[in-house]
Chain A
Amino acid sequence: GGIITQTPKFLIGQEGQKLTLKCQQNFNHDTMYWYRQDSGKGLRLIYYSITENDLQKGDLSEGYDASREKKSSFSLTVTSAQKNEMAVFLCASSGTGGGDTQYFGPGTRLLVL
């Protein structure tokens, strides 16, 4: 078995601030994902990475940057936090072959004041 950890668990930021979320996995999975989950909406893909140093934009990449420096970690940066923004950011990983089975981390809950 393996585990995905996300830090921090809660993140409170100020409008315009640059915020970084981190994700680590020990499944030895090739592919990692960042999703945003808002109340009443499905998970929306922000960025994904097929392998170390690879980055692919998802449908919601505007306003975000990502970094995959090594196979086990995938970081997401909110480049300029929006006032009153409230969402959960979920990191996931999957083995070779794509997204049929994804394993999710516990999430980072963001609140922007």
Chain B
Amino acid sequence: GQGVEQPDNLMSVEGTFARVNCTYSTSGFNGLSWYQQREGHAPVFLSYVVLDGLKDSGHFSTFLSRSNGYSYLLLTELQIKDSASYLCAVRDDTNAYKVIFGKGTHLHVLP
């Protein structure tokens, strides 16, 4: 069946980096988005990728491998305020308006 999988939790240390993984299985592929959601707040769009490779956007970078159904969000020079949930969302090619969200990975940044 269709699905987007992410680990529930991830821990890292301030000043280092964290890689949030996402694997997906969908009927076709038409792009993948990453969102940040702080506790009690709405998801905020971070990045959208549709082509293979690494997209470097400074503090946040995203990687996509369509053949493996895999993406990651890389956060560098972590700050305590990066502690949040990170949601992966995949759009399949049957309906441009519907995306499938993963449960989100809660990133804990330790001092």
Interface residues, chain A, with chain B CB atoms under 8 Å away: 31, 35, 40-45, 48, 50, 56, 58, 90, 94, 97-107
Task: Give the number of A-B contacts (CB < 8 Å).
Answer: 58
* Set of chain B residues within 8 Å of A99, measured between Cβ atoms: 33, 89, 91, 96-99
Report whether B97 and A98 are in contact in the complex, using a CB–CB cutoff of 8 Å. Answer: yes
* Set of chain A residues within 8 Å of B35, measured between Cβ atoms: 104
Residues 31-56 (chain B) with a chain A CB within 8 angstroms: 31, 33, 35, 41-45, 48, 50
Report whether B96 and A101 are in contact in the complex, using a CB–CB cutoff of 8 Å. Answer: no
Report whether A45 and B33 are in contact in the complex, using a CB–CB cutoff of 8 Å. Answer: no
Report whether B98 and A106 are in contact in the complex, using a CB–CB cutoff of 8 Å. Answer: no
| Interface residues contributed by chain B, number (CB under 8 Å) | 23
CA of A90 to CA of B43, assembled, Å: 9
Report whether A100 and B97 are in contact in the complex, using a CB–CB cutoff of 8 Å. Answer: no
Report whether B98 and A48 are in contact in the complex, using a CB–CB cutoff of 8 Å. Answer: yes
Report whether B33 and A100 are in contact in the complex, using a CB–CB cutoff of 8 Å. Answer: yes
CA of A113 to CA of B100, assembled, Å: 30
Q: A42-B87, A42-B103, A43-B87 are in contact. Are A103 and B45 (CB under 8 A)?
A: yes
